[in-house]
């Protein structure tokens, strides 16, 4: 709900549990007054006080008043060069060489429904949303800034985006254009980020804000394995089920930056958006720039409530899943079974072994095109290798479908090998700087997706592939970071636009494939989790969570990912042991339970399994189908912390609280272990439940006293509890 008080120029945004407020003051400065637990009303600007602060300058129109300074006021969208020395949100470079910006309020609009962003991902919806647009102006620079707010009351979600319009007669170069600025009149906050590396992504890291600036970001051309475009600010006492926290998520798949500053006067500011590294975007007169969307959730009840609100909003207002409303089939991918060494007969043998086990989708990974026998050739040559696949895709797909399975395919459209017909014909289509030797990653270069001609060629080649056979799934991979970033299609003064234009090009191509092949599910991938962000989820409703398929490592990866992203978006598969990434041996039952907390599948040669293992796999696929709606649509509860606790446990609970699936995995065990009672969450305290079809357990007792766990025998043991409410 958006409330406007004309007399005080006060804007109040109410959600189910929170209130967000800002005010245009007597000088037209848009002040941020409050974001926290829901309030009944009132003007919170009384919390903002002025004082004579040395070396904090005062705007010209205040005369000789020394108690009003932009350097000390909480602002809704911070600027630079006119007296605020904290983190800026916007930095323009004007034709006179100045970098100053002074934004003042000029008006607003509001309407029912949700705004959209041209060429960019954004949450969507109808009557559940309201939109507010606040107009700010820098009169000297002739810049108009439009602050967009989307309010989804049910899920406590407030989205932010910014449109910057050049209304002058000269060009303006944007050096920084953030999506969101949040000011807090307190300095005692802590910041949680989600960091890692390839094959170990999104591990939580939490620390108090220290004086000065701290943050995370990416300059790799993608959101990256190393840092995720989602951060949390919280009170020091905040935990999973208590305390006040604020989440900020950027819907962007390229270079990003999230910075928090604790200032000299013990207040805090969070600024998040496109990373200003190598960013310089020219706006000619009349042109505008739109920033990526940011999504904010404030939770007065800890991290768990925040996560569940993000999960619900993402599932219902961000994912555009062609298989929504149906059960996605369990898949098997041939990569870890064959790598590049396969032909049609080998693939059919793998599918024949998988089909009787309840697996309904066969995915052919890398190696099916060009002369692709290693990772050093043929990327860009998207024609079927007829020696490996006689008769082409149509013949292979027909044989797979005859087994009762659907067919999927792997592609890596954004990359090119120098040993390819495409590169030999168009070497200028790769990102590389003239006069410099280029760096390679996985023996490949990056195609310049900022170019329309490059995108048209790739689209045409892949369109022909997808149209040639009944393909229902595409794994869209990206196996290197961007370096040597320079486009042969842009002049020197516009090279600072390449990173952003590249991301827009990826989005445009994905949108075209979604439009022309609406039945095809596209799964995102970037060496696993290197581009696991909300921007990609708008186009690819599930993402391969990590190249690391070890069950124990995955517990940590999926735990960190769950703080923002719902389980249904996480590609999670069972692989063979010893694990290819770390050599660990874990029971097949444990691997299945760990992978069942996402979009479930297998990465192994099922033809080499024992009869005992095949029986386990049949049970796993049957269980997954039985629990599908719980896992994909239920509320998710973290019951322990795998970075700290000897047991990792989590629960999926139906929204009516009548059914739950609890999963738990032990780590290494020792002699004479203690007895453990696991406290559950999310149940109806007044309801009684059967567990695995037996007994009668009060919901309040299960949550307050716990459920007694069996003693483990051997490392990495796992179990599941299925709870069903007992009918009265």
Pick the CATH number of 331-428+436-478+507-633 from 3.20.20.70, 3.30.70.100, 3.40.470.10, 3.40.309.10: 3.20.20.70
Q: Could you report the per-residue pLDDT of 168-215, keeping only the tens digit for each? A: 999 999 999 999 999 999 999 999 999 999 999 999 999 999 999 999
Burial class of 46 by CB neighbour count within 10 A (0 to 12, 13 to 18, 19+):
exposed
At CA 89, angle to CA 490 and CA 34, rounded to 5? 150
Return the CATH superfamily for domain 2-317: alpha-galactosidase from lactobacil brevis (2.70.98.60)
Structure tokens given for 250 = 């950027």
Kindly report the pTM of this predicted structure. 0.97
**Residue range(s) in the chain whose domain bears CATH number 2.60.40.1180:** 647-725
* Nearest-angstrom CA–CA distance, 650 and 597: 9
Catalytic residues: 477, 547
Q: Under a CB-based contact definition with an 8 Å cutoff, are residues 223 and 292 in contact?
A: no
* Nearest-angstrom CA–CA distance, 409 and 6: 57
User: Which whole number is the average pLDDT over 503-526?
Assistant: 98
Q: Could you report the per-residue pLDDT of 316-374, keeping only the tens digit for each? A: 999 999 999 999 999 999 999 999 999 999 999 999 999 999 999 999 999 999 999 99
Element (H, E) at 91: strand 90-93
Q: Could you report the per-residue pLDDT of 443-498, keeping only the tens digit for each? A: 999 999 999 999 999 999 999 999 999 999 999 999 999 999 999 999 999 999 99
At CA 512, angle to CA 508 and CA 514, rounded to 5? 115
Q: Which fold has domain 647-725?
A: Immunoglobulin-like (2.60.40)
**Residue range(s) in the chain whose domain bears CATH number 3.20.20.70:** 331-428+436-478+507-633
Give residue 577's pLDDT. Answer: 97
Cα 67 to chain center, whole Å?
Answer: 42
* Nearest-angstrom CA–CA distance, 186 and 242: 19
Cα 618 to chain center, whole Å?
Answer: 32
Would the pLDDT of 620 be above 90?
Answer: yes
Averaged pLDDT score across all residues of the chain: 97
Q: What residues pair up with 377 in beta bridges, in sequence order?
A: 419
Sequence-separated (6 or more) residues with CB below 8 Å from residue 703: 679, 680, 681, 683, 685
**Residue range(s) in the chain whose domain bears CATH number 2.70.98.60:** 2-317
Q: Name the one residue in this structure whose structure tokens are 């998207």.
A: 382
Would the pLDDT of 389 be above 90?
Answer: yes
Please state, as a whole number, how many other Cβ atoms lie within 10 Å of the Cβ of residue 688.
17
DSSP string, 44-70: GGGG------TT----GGGTT-SS--T
């Amino acid at each position: 709900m958006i409330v406007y008080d004309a007399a005080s120029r006060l804007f109040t945004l109410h959600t189910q549990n929170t209130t967000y407020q800002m005010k245009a003051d007597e000088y037209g400065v848009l002040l941020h007054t409050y974001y926290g637990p829901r309030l009944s009303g009132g003007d919170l600007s009384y919390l903002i006080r002025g004082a004579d602060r040395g070396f904090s300058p005062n705007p010209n129109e205040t005369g000789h008043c020394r108690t009003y300074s932009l350097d000390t006021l909480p602002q809704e969208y911070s600027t630079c060069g006119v007296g605020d020395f904290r983190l800026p949100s916007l930095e323009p470079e004007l034709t006179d060489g100045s970098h100053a910006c002074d934004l003042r309020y000029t008006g607003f609009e509001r309407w029912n429904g949700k705004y959209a962003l041209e060429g960019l991902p954004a949450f969507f919806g109808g009557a559940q949303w309201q939109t507010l647009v606040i107009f700010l102006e820098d009169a000297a620079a002739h810049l108009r800034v439009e602050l967009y707010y989307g309010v989804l009351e049910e899920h406590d979600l407030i989205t932010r985006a910014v449109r910057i319009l050049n209304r002058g007669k000269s060009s303006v170069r944007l050096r920084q254009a953030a999506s969101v600025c949040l000011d807090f009149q307190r300095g005692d906050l802590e910041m949680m980020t989600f960091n890692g590396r390839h094959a170990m992504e999104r591990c939580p890291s939490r620390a108090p804000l220290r004086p000065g600036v701290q943050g995370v970001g990416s300059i790799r051309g993608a959101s990256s394995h190393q840092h995720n475009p989602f951060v949390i600010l919280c009170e020091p006492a905040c935990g999973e089920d208590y305390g006040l926290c604020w989440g900020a998520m950027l819907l962007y798949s390229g270079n990003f930056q999230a910075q928090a500053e604790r200032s000299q006067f013990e207040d805090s500011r969070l600024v998040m958006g496109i990373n200003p590294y190598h960013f310089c975007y020219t706006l000619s007169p009349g042109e505008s720039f739109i920033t990526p969307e940011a999504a904010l959730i404030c939770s007065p009840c800890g991290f768990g409530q925040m996560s569940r609100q993000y999960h619900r909003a993402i599932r219902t207002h961000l994912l555009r899943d062609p298989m929504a409303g149906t059960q996605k089939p369990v898949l098997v991918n041939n990569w870890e079974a064959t790598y590049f060494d396969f032909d049609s007969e080998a693939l059919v043998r793998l599918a024949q072994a998988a089909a009787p086990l309840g697996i309904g989708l066969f995915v052919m990974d890398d190696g099916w095109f060009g002369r692709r026998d290693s990772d050093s050739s043929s990327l860009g040559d998207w024609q079927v290798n007829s020696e490996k696949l006689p008769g082409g895709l149509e013949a292979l797909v027909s044989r797979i479908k005859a087994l009762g399975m659907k067919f999927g395919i792997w592609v890596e459209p954004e990359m090119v090998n120098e040993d390819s017909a495409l590169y030999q014909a168009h070497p200028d289509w790769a990102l590389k700087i003239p006069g410099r030797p280029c760096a390679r990653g996985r023996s490949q270069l990056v195609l310049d997706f900022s170019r329309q001609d490059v995108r048209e060629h790739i689209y045409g080649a892949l369109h022909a592939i997808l149209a040639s056979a009944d393909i229902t799934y595409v794994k869209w991979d990206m196996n290197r970071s961007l370096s040597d970033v320079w486009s042969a299609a842009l002049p020197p003064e516009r090279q600072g636009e390449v990173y952003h234009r590249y991301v827009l090009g990826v989005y445009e191509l994905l949108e075209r494939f979604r439009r022309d092949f609406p039945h095809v599910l596209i799964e995102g991938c970037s060496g696993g989790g290197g581009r696991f962000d909300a921007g990609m989820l708008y186009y690819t409703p599930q993402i391969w969570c990590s190249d690391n398929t070890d069950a124990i490592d995955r517990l940590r990866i999926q735990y960190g990912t769950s703080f923002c992203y719902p389980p249904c978006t996480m590609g999670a598969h069972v692989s063979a042991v010893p694990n290819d990434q770390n050599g660990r041996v874990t029971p097949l039952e444990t691997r299945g339970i760990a992978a069942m907390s996402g979009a479930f599948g297998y990465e192994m040669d099922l033809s080499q399994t024992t009869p005992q293992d095949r029986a386990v796999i049949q049970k796993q696929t049957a269980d997954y189908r039985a629990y599908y709606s719980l896992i994909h649509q239920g509320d998710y509860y973290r019951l322990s912390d795998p970075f700290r606790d000897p047991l990792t446990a989590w629960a999926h609970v139906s929204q009516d609280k009548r059914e739950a699936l609890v999963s738990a995995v032990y780590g290494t065990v020792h002699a004479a272990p203690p007895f453990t009672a696991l406290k559950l969450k999310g149940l109806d305290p007044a309801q009684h439940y059967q567990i695995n079809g037996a007994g009668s357990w009060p919901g309040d007792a299960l949550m307050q006293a716990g459920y007694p766990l069996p003693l483990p025998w051997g490392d990495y043991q796992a179990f599941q509890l299925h709870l069903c409410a007992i009918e009265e």
